[in-house]
Structure 1
Amino acid sequence: MKPDEIRKLDAYFKRVFQNPRLEVKARPRKEDSAELYLGDEFLGLVYKDEEEGDYNFSMAILDIDLA
C-alpha cells in the first residue's frame, strides 16, 4: 500500500476504535496489504480490493485467546 493510504487507514482505526496506540504498518515485500498493531501486538491484516477500491480487515482469533 502507498504511504498516504497507510496514513489514512491509521487515522481511521485510531478514530473509530478511539485508541491512539493502534498503528497501521507497511508489510515487507507485500504491496497489497498492511498490518494493524496495538502497541507491539499484531492484530490483523488490512487488504485493498483494487477493483472496488475498498479495504478489508482480517483478524484471526485463537482458541487460547478466548480462554
Structure 2
Amino acid sequence: MSSTFSKPEADRLQKYLQDKFSNPKIALVARKEAKDSAEVTLGGEFIGVVYKDEDEGEVSYDFNMAILAMDLPADA
C-alpha cells in the first residue's frame, strides 16, 4: 500500500541521501501528480524517483534511477 510523503519525512530522506552519497546537492522535489513519491535531483538535474511504500506498518523507500547507455563513458 502506498502512502503520502510528509514534508518532515521528505526532509529526513533527503538528508539521508545527501549523507549516504556524500553530496549536499541531492534534493527531493515534490511531484504534483503522485503523492507517494518524490523526484530526486542532483544540482537541479533530475536523476530519478524515490517511492514510499507502507505495508503492514513497515515503511520502506525505493530509489529508481534509469541510466541510458548513451550516457555511459566510452569503452576504455
The question of a shared fold, defined as TM-score above 0.5 by the shorter chain, is answered with: yes
Alignment pair present for 1:64 and 2:64? no
The answer for the alignment partner of 2:44 in structure 1 is 40
Q: TM-score, normalised by structure 1?
A: 0.91
From the CA coordinates, give the structure whose radius of gyration is larger: 2
Q: TM-score, normalised by structure 2?
A: 0.81
Kindly provide the amino acid, as one letter, of the partner of residue 9 in structure 2.
Answer: E
Using the aligned pairs only, state the percent identity.
46
**Hey, which bits of structure 1, 4+ residues long, moved more than 4 A?**
none
Structure 1 runs not aligned, ≥5 long = none
Aligned mates of 2:33, 2:54 — CA distance in 1: 18
Question: By how many angstroms is 1:21 displaced?
Answer: 0.7
Structural RMSD (CA): 1.0
- RCO higher in structure (CA 8 A, sep ≥6): 2
Q: 1:19 aligns with which of 14, 17, 23?
A: 23
> How many residues in Structure 1 have an aligned counterpart in Structure 2?
67
Question: By how many angstroms is 1:29 displaced?
Answer: 2.2
